[in-house]
A and B are shown apart, each in its own frame.
Chain A
Amino acid sequence: MSDLSTADFQPLEIGRESEVISRPSLSYWQDAWIRLKANRRALVSLYIVIGLLAFTLVGPMLWTVDPARQDLDQVSQPPGTDRIATVVAPYEPWFGDENLPGQGLRLAEEATTQVVRLQWDVLPGANGHRVYRNLFPVGPELAYGIPLAEILNNDTLYFEDRLDLKPGNYFYSVVALGPRGEILDEYETLEVDIERVTTVAEAIDRNLVSADADIQDGDQIALEWHPLGTDYLGRDMLARLMAGARVSLFIGIGAPFLFVLFGVFYGSVAGFMGGRADQFMMRTADFVVALPFLLFMIVFKIAFGIGPGESGVFPMLVAMVVLLWPATARLVRGQILQIREQGYIDASRLLGAKTPYLVFRHMIPNTLGVVLVTLTFAIPSAIFTEAFLSFIGMGVAPPTPSWGSMSNEGIKTMLTTPHELIFPAIFISLTVLAFNLLGDGLRDALDARMRNQE
């Protein structure tokens, strides 16, 4: 207070400058954008959403691998592992080796993806043997794995495994059989490390080397590169994730867009007409809301059974639109009822505005903020719905990939090749997370009244 002087109390010179509003006027949307930019979480989410869209739309142009092509050399291949195959001679039958050194269950030669040759000695008390293969050690529960062969005499003490071999570790067990073929407690087990091999003919057949290339047995050749590995049919995960993104995001964004659009139309008509028509329209909406959503999605899917060659994307889209519009309709109707009573509507009407002008110029634009927030929150739940339905086998039909159906396939091999489940799961989670956070941000930015409400 003390540093005020009389000079401060002189009247200002009369001029225009003191009256000028120095801040530029901001439209509603400019203001909202500024507030959204200040919200770091929402901004990061926006970048993630843009990234996902780029992944879906631009990705397939950069990574042009066909998502349906099977790479049979690399089935269920985790990402980032070596992809070298050693060239070996073509397979030839083998009938055991009497002079094979060693005792007990042993390998006759190095185990490869072409063949694993086992030989063993007669187990105590055995009248025959059964050969098993497992991905895990036998353990105290005596889990031997899948039975490969049953030999009901003690003459044949060798076995060749050529069944669907993949590089990695296998546990082979030979179990003694009693006189009637029953399993005895006696067994031997062997851990085998399998090397990936290929033959010259195979390599040429699968375009790994050109037909006139000079390759010898023992050479190493590089296999196709799969940055995110392959699935259980040897299909490229990255390409499938991109193709799946197209389906998941098409449903996830397309369906909410359509039902929100319909909801806006329905709600504004009801709100504007009022009276009996409004009553009737809202009772109808109440009725649709009361229907159990996922049950109806399933019934819908059965009713419009998917024929061969169809993906089932379209029925799912239609079902979502038919069942999910009422929430938006209710919301928009409430907004319209509020806006209808506002002063600027009366003013506009006094100036001679007709009803369509009022609706399209004043009412709908004023509900857009709320509608945009609804849309943003509808997207993650639509993506969840698609994933849920595809997961229980009620969504898109194979071979069309979607993140949900990929998870469904991945969960079956979760213990051995978790990447087949984890990648689609990460994409679903990331997308849902990004849209949820973006929705929070938009809600805060667009409508202060809705802040902190759930």
Chain B
Amino acid sequence: MWMYILKRLLQGVLTVWFIATATFFAMHNVPGDPLSNERAMTEITRANLEAKYGLDQPLFTQYRIFLVNLLQGDFGISFVQENREVNDIIREHFPVSAILGVLAVIFAATGGVLLGALTALYRNRLPDYIIMFLVILGISVPSFVVAALSQLTLVTLNTAVGRTLIPVAGWGTIMHMLVPALVLGLSTMAYLTRLMRSSMLEVTSSDYVRTAKSKGAPPTRIFTHHQLRNAVLPVVTVLGPAIAAITTGGFVVELVFAIPGLGRYFVEAVQQLDYTVIMGTTVFYGAFLVFMVILVDVVYGFIDPRVRLEK
């Protein structure tokens, strides 16, 4: 097990290095240069700016400096917002994204597991049809449309009530977080519901459930102890990709709901071609996603002894 974790971690580091390198050279492949968007400037100004950002160095020296700084956890300074460190930007805006993401994951996981179990319990009856119909909708409607429609609903609701019951956009209180987190978690929840449903159906026809029934265990106990516990396992495996989906989905939701998270900041940096911010946040996001997937895999190994034996 420890060898496996070590191997995965090494792979992760390699992946992050590749992401950093690819991002670095991608940024240097951009036509023109970072300063060409700026207002007309004199030769001296330009030279000074180039020196400030290290752009006067040869490409590989720049790359070496970039990597060394990266290893020390230094992402450099923003091009657009002068003298603002990328680290500061991440430190300030990532917690917002993280709160939103954690809420969305909690919502998606609990909602998905409960609804999935419910559909399996009421298989081929009305609740099953209704939930599965909603699930198909949740999978087919893009998140920005759901976000926009929920905003529209909120506006209508607030107008009907005559005061701001639930804020339409912005950030701050728990009321601000509720709707964006729901929207962000929705497609993942739909996906998990589907997974949970088929997993539950598989478990229901298993030998140990039959044994539990035949020895006279009460149905609620069979449901909670034998079915639910075993059926939840496959759901844990897809939590890694689900976290990735919610993280990148946050870009859109933060944009629509005007939430000051890192996702919105990243999209804005990309649109303004703020090179150092793009590089920094890409590497940060990349590392975050890669190690989240590894974490989920390792946790799964601890939960499910069968996986541990295979490794």
Contact = CB atoms under 8 A, between A and B. Distances in A.
Interface stretch (A228-236, A285-293, A348-356): A285-293
B198 A454 contact: yes
B67 interface: no
A415 B140 contact: no
B152 interface: yes
A432 interface: yes
A436 B293 CA distance: 26
Contacts of B87: none
Contact of B270 (A291, A302, A454): A302
B256 A411 contact: yes
A291 B18 contact: yes
B30 A303 contact: yes
Contacts of A453: 198
A167 interface: no
A325 interface: no
A187 interface: no
B255 interface: yes
B113 interface: no
Q: Main SS of chain A's interface residues? A: helix
Interface stretch (A88-96, A189-197, A386-394): A386-394
B271 A393 contact: yes
B198 A452 contact: yes
A421 B27 contact: no
A304 B29 CA distance: 7
Q: Among B25, B142, B248, B282, find the residue whose CB has the most chain A CB atoms closer than 10 A.
A: B142
A291 B144 contact: no
A411 B148 contact: yes
Contact of A292 (B139, B140, B252, B290): B290
Contacts of A429: 137, 140-142, 145
Given A411-B144, A437-B136, A290 B290 contact: yes
A307 interface: yes
Nearest to B256: A411
Contacts, number: 123
Interface string B286-311: 10011001000000000000000000
Given A295-B248, A393-B267, A414-B152, A407 B142 contact: yes
B276 interface: no
A201 interface: no
B31 A305 contact: yes
Interface residues of A, number: 42
A303 B23 CA distance: 9
B26 A302 contact: yes
Interface residues of B, number: 50
A63 interface: no
B140 A436 contact: yes
Interface string A249-291: 0000000000000000000000000000000000000110011
A418 B251 CA distance: 22
A425 interface: yes
Interface string B244-286: 1000100110011000000000010011010000100010011
A269 B141 CA distance: 37
A46 B239 CA distance: 32
Contacts of B118: none
Nearest to B197: A454
B30 A305 contact: yes
A428 B140 CA distance: 8
Contact of B201 (A295, A432, A452): A452
Interface string B189-204: 0010011001001100
B15 interface: yes
B151 interface: yes
Nearest to B273: A302
A388 B142 contact: yes
Contact of A425 (B145, B201, B252): B145
A296 interface: yes
A298 interface: yes
Contact of A391 (B11, B252, B293): B252
Q: Main SS of chain B's interface residues? A: helix
A228 B268 CA distance: 32
Interface string A378-417: 0010001001100111100000000000011001001100
Given A307-B31, A418-B152, A452-B198, A299 B142 contact: no
B55 interface: no
Contacts of B251: 294, 392
B27 A303 contact: yes
A123 interface: no
A380 B273 CA distance: 30
Given A291-B18, A425-B145, A303 B26 contact: yes
A433 to B, nearest CB: 4
A292 B278 contact: no
Contact of B22 (A299, A307, A387, A430): A299
A434 to B, nearest CB: 9
Contact of B142 (A295, A296, A387, A418): A387
Q: Among B19, B148, B256, find the residue whose CB has the most chain A CB atoms closer than 10 A.
A: B148
A171 interface: no
A170 interface: no
A451 to B, nearest CB: 9
A433 B285 CA distance: 30
Contacts of B282: 295, 298-299
B18 A287 contact: yes
B155 interface: yes
Nearest to B14: A287
B140 A287 contact: no
Contacts of A55: none
Nearest to A304: B29
Q: Among A295, A393, A415, A421, find the residue whose CB has the most chain B CB atoms closer than 10 A.
A: A295
A208 to B, nearest CB: 34
Contacts of A291: 15, 18-19, 286
Nearest to B286: A292
B103 to A, nearest CB: 21
A294 B191 CA distance: 19
A452 B252 CA distance: 32
Contact of B152 (A388, A415, A432): A415
Interface in B21-45: 22-23, 25-27, 29-31
20 contacts: A287-B15, A290-B290, A296-B19, A298-B282, A299-B23, A302-B30, A305-B30, A380-B140, A393-B270, A393-B271, A414-B151, A415-B152, A429-B140, A429-B141, A432-B139, A432-B142, A436-B136, A437-B136, A452-B202, A454-B195
- Which 7 A/B pairs are nearest by Cβ-Cβ distance? A303-B26, A433-B140, A425-B145, A294-B248, A432-B140, A292-B289, A303-B29
Interface of B: 11-12, 14-15, 18-19, 22-23, 25-27, 29-31, 136-137, 139-145, 148, 151-152, 155, 191, 194-195, 198, 201-202, 244, 248, 251-252, 255-256, 267, 270-271, 273, 278, 282, 285-286, 289-290, 293
